[in-house]
Chains A and B, each alone.
Chain A
Amino acid sequence: DSGVTQTPKHLITATGQRVTLRCSPRSGDLSVYWYQQSLDQGLQFLIQYYNGEERAKGNILERFSAQQFPDLHSELNLSSLELGDSALYFCASSPSLVDDREKLFFGSGTQLSVL
């Protein structure tokens, strides 16, 4: 168990809908990352938050947004869903110590199926 909690584990929805994925980082970790794993694109970095502020953006679509709350949990919002958004979405967190910031601990993921 990595200590990173993601809910829900599975999500089935229809095209055009909006969903919210939730992540609780490991205790004490200030950074949260979102990744998408799909058959077509592989594992891709989407976005990073550090202590409530957006730190870096990757290949995140404009239909997707995220935020990190004061209690450090994070939510990834996916809207106007398309079939191609079906994927496994990972959240990860990292320690705040300078030497360990790049060590990512991943949650077990949310499997999104858009029908």
Chain B
Amino acid sequence: AQTVTQSQPEMSVQEAETVTLSCTYDTSESDYYLFWYKQPPSRQMILVIRQEAYKQQNATENRFSVNFQKAAKSFSLKISDSQLGDAAMYFCAYDMNYGGSQGNLIFGKGTKLSVKP
């Protein structure tokens, strides 16, 4: 069975600095999607970034980028120029790209990110 592990329960970063959140996963599949979701205190789950496993190029979305290491099954999120609004729980998620299974996400336990002014 697929699993997602986030080994950092909490992280802290100074405003305007860069922080990296770690995620590892386990799967025997070769085609899948990986995601980072953000959950601020409002509880809303917000998609931050998506990576398709067959693409070697790392995904980027403005200040957010990933380091996808397929062989190592590692998928880290880098937040550059951290802002106070980045403070939230961040969840790494896995989705097997197979038929009707798309959207049936397996989530990690989350990393709570604090941003210091």
Residues of chain A touching chain B, judged by Cβ–Cβ distance below 8 Å, are 2, 31, 33, 35, 42-45, 48, 50, 55-56, 58, 88, 90, 92, 94, 101-106, 108-109, 111
Inter-chain CA distance A50–B91, complex, in Å, is 25
Encode contact with A along B43-69: 1 for CB under 8 Å, 0 otherwise: 111110010000000000000000000
> How far is the CB of A106 from the nearest CB of chain B, in Å?
4
A-B contacts besides A101-B103, A108-B43, 4 pairs, CB < 8 Å: A33-B104, A104-B105, A108-B44, A109-B43
B15 in contact (CB, < 8 A): no
Given A2-B44, A90-B45, A106-B44, A56 and B100 touching (CB < 8 A)? yes
Given A90-B45, A108-B44, A102 and B107 touching (CB < 8 A)? no
Whether A108 and B42, one on each chain, are in contact in the complex, defined by CB atoms closer than 8 angstroms, is yes
B95 in contact (CB, < 8 A): yes
B76 in contact (CB, < 8 A): no
Given A102-B95, A102-B97, A31 and B44 touching (CB < 8 A)? no
Whether B104 and A106, one on each chain, are in contact in the complex, defined by CB atoms closer than 8 angstroms, is no
Whether B104 and A48, one on each chain, are in contact in the complex, defined by CB atoms closer than 8 angstroms, is yes
Contacts of A42 in B (CB 8 A): 107-110
Mostly, the B contact residues are loop
A sample of 24 inter-chain contacts (CB < 8 A) reads A2-B46, A42-B107, A42-B108, A43-B91, A43-B107, A44-B107, A45-B104, A48-B103, A56-B101, A58-B104, A88-B43, A92-B45, A101-B102, A102-B33, A102-B95, A102-B102, A104-B45, A105-B47, A106-B44, A108-B42, A108-B44, A109-B43, A109-B44, A111-B43
Inter-chain CA distance A43–B91, complex, in Å, is 9
Encode contact with A along B1-17: 1 for CB under 8 Å, 0 otherwise: 00000000000000000
> How far is the CB of A62 from the nearest CB of chain B, in Å?
19
Inter-chain CA distance A44–B110, complex, in Å, is 13
Whether B103 and A92, one on each chain, are in contact in the complex, defined by CB atoms closer than 8 angstroms, is yes
Contacts of B19 in A (CB 8 A): none
Inter-chain CA distance A36–B30, complex, in Å, is 27
Tell which of B91, B103, B106 touches A31, judged by Cβ atoms closer than 8 Å: B103
Whether A55 and B95, one on each chain, are in contact in the complex, defined by CB atoms closer than 8 angstroms, is no
